[in-house]
Structure 1
Amino acid sequence: MTPSPTTHKMLSPKSPLFLSLFLALLLPFSTVVTALKLAAELTTIEYTAELIAAKDYFHNGTATFTTGGVATIVQDKSIDLASNAETQALRQFATHKNLRIIYTVSEVAYRLVARKKSAVTTAQDLKGKKIGTFPGTSGAYFVQKYLASVGLKPADYTVVSGSVCRAAPCGSGTLPAMLASGAVDAVGLWEPTMQLAIDAVGAGNVVVFQDKSVYRELFNLHSTTEKLQDAKTRAQIVAFVRALAQAQKVFAAQPETIWSRVAAAVNVSADVVKAVWPVHGWTGGLPADLLDVLVAEDQWVAAVDRRAAMSRAVLADLVDGSVLKEALQG
């Protein structure tokens, strides 16, 4: 049959119908690239496992990072994942019950560093002393929790507010500078601030206290019920957790291969990253005692935030192990 002029015109390569049919034929064979958006404190060593996972092992799409954490994900619906210590998760979950912990990125055994010149030999010697930390954070909780384990109550010492430092020389108001000047007798926080405090005073001039059985930071990956209930987004989150587990194997078994990348990512000396690496754990998964930690810690967070503590039953909803289960099955 000879096509009519009208039919021939409709099937012209330049016609809208032709282009529509062409795109429709291509669509089943095209790859749809999706992007996850993550909020993290981009100056912390803990988050770098997520960064390496996104760059080296996440092949299901792309992942972009923005500065923030769990406070960001509960406020910004464009965020798919967020990481923070358990303290901040408890703070946000109190008013945002859609928040979920889905994976543990790192477990960090915090350190309390004291000056020998302050007549400190044992942790009990910190009675009557000034302790520098960052109030309202996991660092402050660690200080109180650790000192309670050696018999000291909050009334037995004075907490002094200080800020973090990521590179020497540490400026005025940072915890390492405060310890070196004698403005405080001891400091407790996350790394690399504690290593820089040791370096500022001198390793031979400090006493370091640490007990991960009393406290270790659980730096977790979070999402929301809305994101996890969306099939497309959930598939990407599961794939990212799988990629994160791959990255953690390198962090645990071959750290020397990524120290320089971690240092560059957080603008910290590679030597400092190497020095603090032993206090970081990269086992992944979800710790068996996670809920126990949350229940105990919420007593402190609730008091700081002047609210009632949440029950164990309520806090159980904060932890969602289903994503990890799916990731392990893949």
Structure 2
Amino acid sequence: MQTPPLHPVPGRREVLGLGAVLGLGTLFSGCAVPATADPSSAGAAADPAPLKVFGNLDTLEFAPVLLAGATREAGRIEIAQGGILSLFDKQGDLPNLKATGRSHVATNSETQGLRYSIENPDLRIIFTISEGVYRIIARRSAGIASLADLRGKRIGTMPRTSSAYYLHRMLNSVGVNDNEVRIEPFVSGTARPLAMMKDALLSGQIDAVTIWEPEMQRCADALGANAVSFFDAAAYREQFSLYSTRGNLADPVLRPKIVSLVRSLMIASEQIRRDPGEAIKLVAQAARLDLPSVERAWPHNTYPGTLLSNLLDTMVDEEVWVAKETGRAPRTHAQLAPLIDASVLHEVLQQVLPS
């Protein structure tokens, strides 16, 4: 089984809007973010109420938030299970993300941002928490040796998510249409949760799976020599983002707290890249996962600590697939651009970089 590259595709990690001036390596090698003198914390201290941060605690993607919450933002943020619909005090349609209450910031993939921004146009993406290099794990014994062999096969995934989009991209790359495979849905919080994927593969109920880590690692471990893995980081890399709303970003009380969180996420991301040990432990604890599986799955996620400059292009491509789901016309580049707000990141950079 191949292992994905630990580093991103060259030229794709520039800070959005500052790419011509700052690459991530420049930001953290020549000018590391200091751990003290956080100007944004002054405004946050005026209101001691914690910033409410909702996200999917069952994923590796959430690691920087967990690390920030355990260190720099300890006591200043309140973490709960939920997705971006919590920003609008709405119940998520994914069972495992049906959090109660309203959040101030929340996390999800760009797929869900595209879906939910139709009814909630004030949604804003403000930071890239992680990138996920997805993969497909299949059974060799099902006659699968290449991607094209997936035609006619039963493939487990979570519909309407970034993993389902990844499957779509991978199938289409070898001329297999979506309707030429049988999608077997697995959804957290239902009678067929993600944890059942491994047993379904082993028993022959399905032939292949694709979902985020570490479930894929568990499937690969269970199949052993019978596993065949397919991935293409250039075809699609999930951009798991931090979201807020236009109103929250304009709020004089909330904005300093959001700026402080983003600054802490940059520091946490740098720490994870240097030594992921503590973050791995936090993920395993929060998601109730076994530590060895998390450690083996870890190379399939990266933590850029910025706002990736290719996000809008990714969203434009993905919007075609998302729009088809509801039978509407896809939005254009110009229509999607306002969903990305780099102002918080720019504010952090102005605080830590020399003028």
Same fold (TM over 0.5): yes
Describe the superposition over 1:111-152 as per-residue Cα deviations: whole angstroms up to 9, x where unpaired. Answer: 100100011111111112111111111111111111111221
TM-superposed CA distance for 1:97, in Å, is: 0.7
CA contact (8 A) 2:63 2:280 kept: no
Unaligned 5+ residue runs, structure 2?
1-44, 91-100
Where do residues 104-253 of structure 1 align in structure 2 (5 Å cutoff)? 104-163=128-187, 174-202=196-224, 204-253=225-274
Which residue does the alignment assign to 1:74? 88
Matched to 1:320, the amino acid is: D
CA contact (8 A) 1:54 1:240 kept: no
CA contact (8 A) 2:186 2:194 kept: no
SS of the equivalent of 2:253 reads helix
Which residue does the alignment assign to 1:12? none
Bigger-Rg structure (1/2) = 1
TM-superposed CA distance for 1:242, in Å, is: 0.2
What fraction of aligned residue pairs are identical, expressed as a percent?
A: 37
Which residue does the alignment assign to 2:50? 35
Which residue does the alignment assign to 1:285? 306
SS of the equivalent of 2:277 reads helix
- Is 2:66 the counterpart of 1:51? yes
Matches of 1:172 and 1:145, distance apart in 2:
21
TM-superposed CA distance for 1:328, in Å, is: 1.5
CA contact (8 A) 1:57 1:244 kept: no
TM-superposed CA distance for 1:205, in Å, is: 0.8
CA contact (8 A) 1:163 1:175 kept: no
Q: Against the structure 1 CA distance between its residues 99 and 172, is the aligned structure 2 distance closer, same or farther, given a 3 Å change threshold?
A: closer
- TM-score, scaled to structure 2: 0.79
CA contact (8 A) 2:214 2:297 kept: yes
Matches of 1:281 and 1:178, distance apart in 2:
29
Which residue does the alignment assign to 1:63? 77
Matched to 2:337, the amino acid is: A
CA RMSD of the aligned region, Å?
A: 2.0
Q: Against the structure 1 CA distance between its residues 213 and 171, is the aligned structure 2 distance closer, same or farther, given a 3 Å change threshold?
A: closer
TM-superposed CA distance for 1:171, in Å, is: 7.9
- Is 2:343 the counterpart of 1:322? yes
TM-superposed CA distance for 1:58, in Å, is: 2.5
Describe the superposition over 1:193-245 as per-residue Cα deviations: whole angstroms up to 9, x where unpaired. Answer: 1111112222x111100111101111000000000001221111011100011
Describe the superposition over 1:26-84 as per-residue Cα deviations: whole angstroms up to 9, x where unpaired. Answer: xxxx965231011111222211211211221227x610022211111123684210000
Deviates more, 1:32-41 or 1:92-101: 32-41
SS of the equivalent of 1:317 reads helix
Matches of 1:73 and 1:172, distance apart in 2:
25
Unaligned 5+ residue runs, structure 1?
1-29
Which residue does the alignment assign to 1:299? 320
